[in-house]
Structure 1
Amino acid sequence: MTLDGKVAIVTGSGQGLGLAYAHELARQGAAVVINDVSADAARAAVDAITAEGGRAVAVVAPVGPSDTARELVRTAVETYGRLDILVTNAGILRDTVLWKMSDDDFDAVIGVHLRGTFTCVREAAIHFRKTQTAGRIICIGSPTGQRGNFGQTNYGAAKAGIVGMVRTWAMELKKAEVTVNAVIPVAATAMTATVPYFAAAVEADAAGDQMPAFFRHDLGFGTADDVAGLIAYLASDDAAGVTGQAIGIGGDRLQLWSHPEAVITEYREGGWTFDALEESFGELFGGRLQSVGEAFPPLPDELRRDPAAS
């Protein structure tokens, strides 16, 4: 098995995408530290993995505090003797438009996603450097962090920040031979289950049927299991040369996201005064302003479940 003898931590792995990641890592031979705030969900995840012949143990704690990060690493090392892989998946949503978002809405999401990723990666990095382990760090991003999304100020900021940290950490940990990458999944989750546009895909997934090709191919929208293979690959020795990347996956689609680059560069001797910008900005940049958010094609008639979904 690809990850035989390895040990992984997966935060937020009691259900959903995190659980799929944990299952795949275990199937590839890794022992897994499950993490969730729900003791029942964590216990069920451990039982499911061990029932399949895998090895798993649970840490029930909220991600964000440094104490949780230390407990996760300590549990991996004390239970299985080592740590090789960290997947930072834990997250929550508090969606609302900017003018209705409270301080608590903002802080809660930033605390779990952004601070939680930071504290867990910091603790794993300390361990990897101390033990001279060529570890694998995989942080979970989102299309919202890449493109923006209505009603997700807090989530978009956190996910964009995670990718920014990944690029920084890839440089800082290169000498230690630790790889750091971001995965941008697009899959049926509790969040997408409530969106009418995805209803036909979510219904198929819930019934155990294949999703329509429109979703899997055209939109790159699939199941949690469709994402899990990339997690295991990036955790493997085969991916030793892959670091600092943001890789999208969903359904039948695999993507390599670009780093932000200037799309147009113009120079003016003496600099750009207000008058110069007023005269030239529209001509130079007007037709090249960048879009925000994601634009989905209309649903085929046979896949519509709600007129609003089109």
Structure 2
Amino acid sequence: MNLQGKVAVVTGSGRGLGRAYAEALATAGAAVVVNDVDAEAAATVVKGITESGGRAVGAIAPVGTAQVAEELVSAAIGEFGRLDVMVTNAGILRDKVLWKMSDEDFDAVIDVHLRGTFTCARAAAIRMREQGTGGRLILISSPAGQRGNFGQTNYAAAKAGIVAMARTWALELARSAITVNAVVPIAATEMTKTIPAFAPVIEEAERTGRPFPEWLRKDEGLGTVEDVAALIVYLASAESQEVTGQAIGIGGDRLALWSHPQEKAVAFAAGGWTPDAIATTWHTGVGANPETFGIPAPTPPAA
């Protein structure tokens, strides 16, 4: 897939998924602004891309503020002359259960994930609209934002908000030929290790050095960071110009389209509902098949 002439910013791309995204975009021909708070990590990624014949520049800054977002866009313009793709990947974790989570824990995650996505997407959209040639906003969400996850109030809320922003911006930017999609990745990373459902299998693979088994790659959709990067390249390309407003999952051997929330069951009461009427009908009516929640633990096949 050819991204020659395209310019991308990838936030949080010094390691993990962000690094895989930056390297895959560069391999496809795009020039890349590699953003991270770790200067050494960013420099390593830039060096690897340039030594492989690609184009890249580092931008060291913590994502969140409007000022940093504008600096990242300016880095793309100053170095490569334009901006075509913004991948909002930067993130942190401050995991705690609700009754132990502090205001600082909550605000730190919201500032990087949710506000950082907002400020970077806004700065990119302004530039893309000025250029008048369309663009791509690729927002990184998480299964935790789709289903919730124990100990991740802040992270799950931010990632759910990112999908909601993707739907909203897809509407607002359609006339400017700017597509907006949320990616829901599952891959073995330092961040994934903090999720109880996945930590044991990731640690086992690292300990033994063996690749993930087929059931895990297929049934659970858990693989390497490189597995996820293919979707980023596709969404950055001309081939995806009709794809917008979607939440798309990828991991291991699995590619999936997440459904958007909609009414699952509906009932009516003439004149409106009373608490007693709801209690009488709930378990046999609207609430007969309640939704599940939480990220299920990986289940290996029976021996």
2:222 alignment partner AA: F
CA shift, 1:17, in A, is 0.2
**Higher deviation after alignment, 207-216 or 132-141:** 207-216
Structure 1 unaligned spans of 5+: 303-310
Residue 132 of structure 1 is matched in structure 2 by 132
Q: Distance in 1 between matches of 2:264 and 2:144?
A: 21
Aligned residues: 302
CA shift, 1:266, in A, is 1.0
Provide closer, same or farther for how the CA distance between residues 197 and 29 of structure 1 changes in structure 2, counting only shifts above 3 A: closer
CA shift, 1:286, in A, is 3.5
CA shift, 1:52, in A, is 1.1
Residue 3 of structure 2 is matched in structure 1 by 3
Provide closer, same or farther for how the CA distance between residues 50 and 203 of structure 1 changes in structure 2, counting only shifts above 3 A: farther
- Give the conservation status (yes or no) of the 8 Å contact 1:205–1:211: no
- Give the conservation status (yes or no) of the 8 Å contact 1:22–1:34: yes
CA shift, 1:298, in A, is 3.2
Provide closer, same or farther for how the CA distance between residues 197 and 166 of structure 1 changes in structure 2, counting only shifts above 3 A: closer
CA shift, 1:133, in A, is 2.3
1:123 alignment partner AA: A
DSSP 3-state at the match of 1:162: helix
Q: Distance in 2 between matches of 1:208 and 1:240?
A: 39
Q: Distance in 2 between matches of 1:159 and 1:95?
A: 14
Residue 239 of structure 2 is matched in structure 1 by 238
2:173 alignment partner AA: L
Q: Distance in 2 between matches of 1:72 and 1:178?
A: 18
- Give the conservation status (yes or no) of the 8 Å contact 1:205–1:223: no
CA shift, 1:197, in A, is 4.9
**Higher deviation after alignment, 187-196 or 156-165:** 187-196
Q: Distance in 2 between matches of 1:76 and 1:99?
A: 42
1:69 and 2:60 equivalent?
no
- Give the conservation status (yes or no) of the 8 Å contact 1:128–1:134: yes
DSSP 3-state at the match of 2:288: helix
Provide closer, same or farther for how the CA distance between residues 56 and 206 of structure 1 changes in structure 2, counting only shifts above 3 A: farther
Residue 87 of structure 1 is matched in structure 2 by 87
Matches within 5 A, 1:174-189: 174-189=174-189
- Give the conservation status (yes or no) of the 8 Å contact 1:32–1:57: yes
Q: Distance in 2 between matches of 1:122 and 1:214?
A: 40
Matches within 5 A, 1:246-285: 246-285=247-286
Q: Distance in 2 between matches of 1:144 and 1:157?
A: 8
Structure 2 unaligned spans of 5+: none
- Give the conservation status (yes or no) of the 8 Å contact 2:197–2:295: no
Residue 12 of structure 2 is matched in structure 1 by 12
- What is the TM-score normalised by the length of structure 1? 0.93
Provide closer, same or farther for how the CA distance between residues 12 and 206 of structure 1 changes in structure 2, counting only shifts above 3 A: farther
Provide closer, same or farther for how the CA distance between residues 211 and 166 of structure 1 changes in structure 2, counting only shifts above 3 A: same
- Give the conservation status (yes or no) of the 8 Å contact 2:84–2:135: yes
CA shift, 1:211, in A, is 1.8
Q: CA RMSD in A?
A: 1.7
Q: Distance in 2 between matches of 1:228 and 1:207?
A: 25
**Higher deviation after alignment, 158-167 or 129-138:** 129-138
Residue by residue over 1:250-301, the C-alpha shift from the partner in whole angstroms, topping out at 9 and shown as x without a partner, is 0000000011011101111101112221222222134211111122353357
Q: Distance in 2 between matches of 1:97 and 1:149?
A: 10
Provide closer, same or farther for how the CA distance between residues 173 and 198 of structure 1 changes in structure 2, counting only shifts above 3 A: same
- Give the conservation status (yes or no) of the 8 Å contact 2:216–2:300: no
Matches within 5 A, 1:18-57: 18-57=18-57
DSSP 3-state at the match of 1:222: coil
**Higher deviation after alignment, 214-223 or 194-203:** 194-203
Provide closer, same or farther for how the CA distance between residues 220 and 65 of structure 1 changes in structure 2, counting only shifts above 3 A: same
1:218 and 2:227 equivalent?
no
Q: Distance in 1 between matches of 2:14 and 2:243?
A: 28
